[in-house]
Amino acid sequence: MIEPNTFDAIVLGTGLPESILAASIAAAGKTVLHLDAYEGYLSPWASPSFSTLSSFASSGGCLPKASFSAEEELTFSPEEIEYKILEVKDAPALYSHVKVSPAHDESSLGRLNRYSLDLAGPKVVFCAGPLVDALVSAQADHHVRFKGVEASFIWRDGQMTAVPASRSDVFRDKTLSLADKRFLMRFFKLVADYTDSEGGTSGELAAENLDRPFVEFLRRQQLPTLIREIILYAIALVDDDQEQVSDVASLVSTKDGLQALALYLASASRFPDAPGAFLYPMYGHGDLPQAFCRCAAVRGALYVLRMPVVSLLLDKESGDCKGVQIASGQVLHSEKVIASPTFCVEQPATSESTPTTTSSAVDAEEDAHLRSSDVPSTSSERHETGGDSTKVARCLCITDQSFQPGLSTVMVIFPPNSLHGRKSKVVRALQLGSAADVCPDGKYIVQFSVKCSDATEAEETLQAAKDALFRVDDSEDDLESEKPKLLWSIFFIQDVSNPLQAIRGLKMSVMPDGTIDYRSMMKYTETIFHELFPEKEFFPKLPATSTSDEGEGDAVADGIDGL
Amino acid sequence: MSARKRTLLKVIILGDSGVGKTSLMNQYVNKKFSNQYKATIGADFLTKEVQVEDRLVTMQIWDTAGQERFQSLGVAFYRGADCCVLVYDVNVMKSFDNLDNWREEFLIQASPSDPENFPFVVLGNKVDVDGGNSRVVSEKKAKAWCAAKGGIPYFETSAKEDFNVDAAFQCIAKNALKNETEEEIYLPDTIDVNASRVPKASGCEC
């Protein structure tokens, strides 16, 4: 049996946000029990093997669960449950429209056990972003090595243009015209002035202008279209069309845009060995949760994998979270439970957001309190998922050569409406090779994603992006034959929306969203931490021996100086 | 092929909870022993400089951080190990029986390129207990298991009395190093996000 049976927090699921929370709570000196129904840290954030991904595909998008077997150590005499019991179920259909295009000949894929396929791909890590800071503060950094993303390209009119990572890149670039270079240099200078002034600027960047749309600001700078697209979609990593806006909520403010640029510039110069602003974790993104879990374990968190949770226990009177019951029958107590979105807990109430219990009526004051405590996370979540696109289409492809000869880890951005005249959102692609140890030598993985509300449209959009990069079968065209050949691919739609949860003490974690980096996930994770432990610091700063904990302002200033 | 710069050896210690994995590490690296048992908290890995023949290498010894208790170690933990140490308690039969499982688990998770020849070392710990009277696994039986698995080196140890610990780790370092040169492969340049890290002589305060 699991001993002790009472914890400051119980975490269910080993996705990245849950694992970061386990590590941060353990680092705050609290006791943590981390449970997972799956084998080997499988979650929507994992990088499953080829065979695991194949069973995911054949089941129509279910992560294969470990079979639970009550081991000797887990036997115990059951205790009487004095709580209200809410059954825990699997969340319905997190993945849909799963389609595999199998290899004509599986041997063409090489050693299958060498593949790690990111379920949340494509994703990259900003060198100066919050995830790297958390890794260092948590002392999880020695468990993960990174590969630098070697280059980014933007796709327009059937061509790839390199995205400059720094001022020196602008000088060296051979695809940009002299006039474009001058525009970019002037613009980088402007961003540097903005960050140096810490927001206290006048004129163009006066406070009253910062809330206005970023795209208007860029237009006023009279930047050419290509440069504007590079800045918006490849550097500030905006996902929604900013030129033809259907939903005002998807417009990025000047302030957010400038902050994103500052982060990009700081990232580009943070690590001398990194070729650009972005990193990719060796062996895939699935190593990140494991690194945080290891840190949590080192600080005393207890780990039990292959252990399903069967019910959530609530106080009969208040309806507050009191713990969980696991498949072995044991009851584990905690007033704080964090659950992965792969869990679904039946709502104790009949109406959507009003928490009432069948056994006792919750008074109005309590009710109001519960709802208000949920406001911060819900509003930020809505902000991050961006309008109505609560799904993201992903496609993972295996190819036989790099689409950029000589380069392995490469990102491509297809700005809005850039694919064969199609109306489309931003499509992101990331190529990885054996240098990142995610596939056998000589093979490449290319991951695609696009935010979507319609599956068919998303599939067609990603097909157009694939056609741009890969060889069309049996083409006689010489140019076509130089492109990589698509050997195998999987397409699926993943749900991003996060269930509302109104039980006090229960926090739902998040699914990987449609963005290519981890800023929104980190923000959400930190918010949950502070809601659960308002008196504690999220990953306390390390002593001065580490350079990782400079304020964001310092890091940004360093970045600008480095240009 | 030019000599590889990296002389850092990753050694992982596996075995049932309570067999003395942490105590063995602590005795070897810090020359300390505590009779008080607590499931491992606070040790990520310990490092020690070792002279192996004419080479000075840094051995990084990874503890299970308690994640072995419910078999919850992830593939990331096993990755890149140069030697795997299997520990059992000579006074507990189950811990010896489980060596098979631990070895198997390692080979599946770490998937070394040459599993037949991957270096393991087996330690039968706690030989001091009750003057050896409570012992249930004989040296003969343990040696037979090691021989059947392709001649794994075997040591009887006592972390408490510091018996045979140095000799065992010297063998571990030697075998880890042998594995490293045999597996000399192209290591792509990777980025360490903690640029300020200073190599420490021993220990890790986390």
Q: How many CA atoms lie within 13 A of B147 on its CB side?
A: 6
For chain A, percent of residues with pLDDT exceeding 90: 50
What pLDDT does residue A96 have?
94
Query: Where residue A200 falls among pLDDT bands split at 50, 70, 90?
Result: low
State whether B193 and A545 contact (CB < 8 Å). no
What pLDDT does residue A65 have?
82
What pLDDT does residue A506 have?
93
User: Is 90 exceeded by the pLDDT of residue A361?
Assistant: no
Of A290, A297, A305, the CB nearest to B66: A297
What pLDDT does residue B199 have?
44
CA distance A228 to chain B (A): 31
Q: What is the DSSP letter of A57?
A: H
Which residue in chain A has the smallest CA separation from B66? A297
Question: How many C-beta neighbours within 10 Å does residue A332 have?
Answer: 22
Q: What is the DSSP letter of A562?
A: T
What pLDDT does residue B11 have?
94
- Dihedral sign for Cα A209, A415, A522, A189, please: negative
Mean pLDDT over each residue of chain A, to the nearest integer: 83
State whether B198 and A300 contact (CB < 8 Å). no
A442-487: pLDDT as tens digits: 999 999 999 998 899 999 999 999 999 998 765 556 656 688 999 9
State whether B42 and A302 contact (CB < 8 Å). no
Which residue in chain A has the smallest CA separation from B199? A142
DSSP per-residue letters across A507-520: EE-----SSSSSHH
Question: Side by side, which strands form the sheet with A486-495?
Answer: A95-101, A486-495, A391-399, A444-452, A427-432, A410-414, A151-156, A159-162
User: Is 60 exceeded by the pLDDT of residue B205?
Assistant: no
User: Is 50 exceeded by the pLDDT of residue A83?
Assistant: yes
Mean pLDDT value across residues A311-316: 92
User: Is 60 exceeded by the pLDDT of residue B187?
Assistant: no
Query: Where residue A77 falls among pLDDT bands split at 50, 70, 90?
Result: low
CA distance A1 to chain B (A): 10
A432 vs A453: which has the higher pLDDT = A432
Mean pLDDT over each residue of chain B, to the nearest integer: 85
List CB contacts of A267: < 8 A, sequence separation 6 or more.
Answer: A126, A127, A128, A129, A276, A277, A278, A559
State whether B76 and A143 contact (CB < 8 Å). yes
Residue closest to A234 by CA, chosen among A124, A158, A131: A124
Which residue in chain B has the smallest CA separation from A31? B41
Q: What is the DSSP letter of B191?
A: B
Mean pLDDT value across residues A543-552: 41
User: Is 60 exceeded by the pLDDT of residue A355?
Assistant: no
What pLDDT does residue A488 have?
95
B14-58: pLDDT as tens digits: 999 999 999 999 999 988 887 766 655 556 788 899 988 888 889
Instruction: List alpha helices for A163-269, DSSP H.
Output: 167-172, 178-196, 207-210, 214-220, 225-229, 254-268
User: Is 70 exceeded by the pLDDT of residue A552?
Assistant: no
Query: Where residue B103 falls among pLDDT bands split at 50, 70, 90?
Result: very high
Burial of B194 (0-12, 13-18, 19+ CB in 10 A): middle
What pLDDT does residue A562 have?
36
Chain B positions in Cβ-Cβ contact with residue A303 (cut-off 8 Å): 66-67, 69-70, 72
Q: Are B11 and B85 in contact (CB under 8 A)?
A: yes
Lookup: tokens for B9: 């050896």
User: Is 60 exceeded by the pLDDT of residue B198?
Assistant: no
State whether A135 and B193 contact (CB < 8 Å). yes
Single-letter residue type at A166: S
State whether A274 and B191 contact (CB < 8 Å). yes
What pLDDT does residue A473 have?
66
What pLDDT does residue B104 have?
95
Of B84-98, B108-122, B174-188, the poorest mean pLDDT is in B174-188
Distance from C-alpha of B88 to C-alpha of A542, rounded to nearest angstrom:
37
Query: Where residue A68 falls among pLDDT bands split at 50, 70, 90?
Result: confident
List CB contacts of A479: < 8 A, sequence separation 6 or more.
Answer: none
Question: How many C-beta neighbours within 10 Å does residue B107 have?
Answer: 16
What pLDDT does residue A383 have?
35
Q: Phi and psi at residue A296, in whole multiples of 5°?
A: -65, -45
B106-163: pLDDT as tens digits: 999 998 888 889 999 999 999 999 998 999 999 999 999 999 999 999 999 999 999 9
Query: Where residue A127 falls among pLDDT bands split at 50, 70, 90?
Result: very high
What pLDDT does residue A478 have?
60
Distance from C-alpha of A101 to C-alpha of A112, rounded to nearest angstrom:
16
What pLDDT does residue A551 have?
37
A362-418: pLDDT as tens digits: 333 333 333 333 333 333 333 333 334 589 999 999 999 999 999 999 999 999 988
Q: State ipTM.
A: 0.87
A174 vs A559: which has the higher pLDDT = A174
What pLDDT does residue B181 have?
52
User: Is 90 exceeded by the pLDDT of residue A73?
Assistant: no
User: Is 60 exceeded by the pLDDT of residue A547?
Assistant: no
State whether A548 and B194 contact (CB < 8 Å). yes
Q: How far is CA B62 from CA A278, A474, B96, B204, in A?
A: 30, 52, 21, 11
For chain A, percent of residues with pLDDT exceeding 70: 83
Q: How many CA atoms lie within 13 A of A426 on its CB side?
A: 26
Q: Are A290 and A40 in contact (CB under 8 A)?
A: no
What pLDDT does residue A354 have?
40
Q: How far is CA A492 from CA A62, A93, A464, in A?
A: 11, 11, 16
Query: Where residue A122 falls among pLDDT bands split at 50, 70, 90?
Result: very high
* A 125-144 → B contacts, CB under 8 A: 127, 132, 135-136, 139, 141-144
What pLDDT does residue A50 have?
94
DSSP per-residue letters across B102-153: HHHHHHHHH--S-GGG--EEEEEE-TTGGGGTT--S-HHHHHHHHHHTT---
Of B71, B191, B206, the CB nearest to A271: B191
A25 vs A157: which has the higher pLDDT = A25
Q: Are A184 and A261 in contact (CB under 8 A)?
A: no
For chain B, percent of residues with pLDDT exceeding 70: 83
State whether A40 and B188 contact (CB < 8 Å). no
State whether B72 and A304 contact (CB < 8 Å). yes
What pLDDT does residue A333 have?
95
A281-320 burial, b if ≥16 CB within 10 A, otherwise e?
A: bbbbbbbbbbbbbbbbbbbbbbbbbbbbbebbbbbeeebb
Q: What is the DSSP letter of A231?
A: I
CA distance B172 to chain A (A): 22
A224-277: pLDDT as tens digits: 888 889 999 999 999 988 988 777 888 999 889 988 988 998 898 888 888 889
State whether A299 and B72 contact (CB < 8 Å). no
Question: Side by side, which strands form the sheet with A278-281?
Answer: A125-126, A278-281, A146-148
Of A137-141, A183-187, A214-218, B148-152, the poorest mean pLDDT is in A183-187
Tell whether A300 is within 8 A of chain B (Cβ). Answer: yes
Question: Side by side, which strands form the sheet with B55-62?
Answer: B45-52, B55-62, B8-14, B83-89, B120-125, B154-156
Single-letter residue type at A439: C
Residue closest to B204 by CA, chosen among B3, B25, B19: B25
Query: Where residue A283 falls among pLDDT bands split at 50, 70, 90?
Result: very high
Residue closest to A533 by CA, chosen among A27, A91, A146, A13: A27
A328-354: pLDDT as tens digits: 889 999 999 999 988 887 766 544 444
What pLDDT does residue A378 have?
35
Tell whether A542 is within 8 A of chain B (Cβ). Answer: no
What pLDDT does residue A381 have?
35
B48-67: pLDDT as tens digits: 999 888 888 899 999 898 89
What pLDDT does residue A546 have?
37
DSSP per-residue letters across B28-59: HHH----S------S-SEEEEEEEETTEEEEE
Tell whether A407 is within 8 A of chain B (Cβ). Answer: no
Single-letter residue type at B55: R
> Which CATH superfamily is A9-111+283-386+496-537 part of?
FAD/NAD(P)-binding domain (3.50.50.60)
The full set of domains in chain B, from first to last, is 7-196 (3.40.50.300)
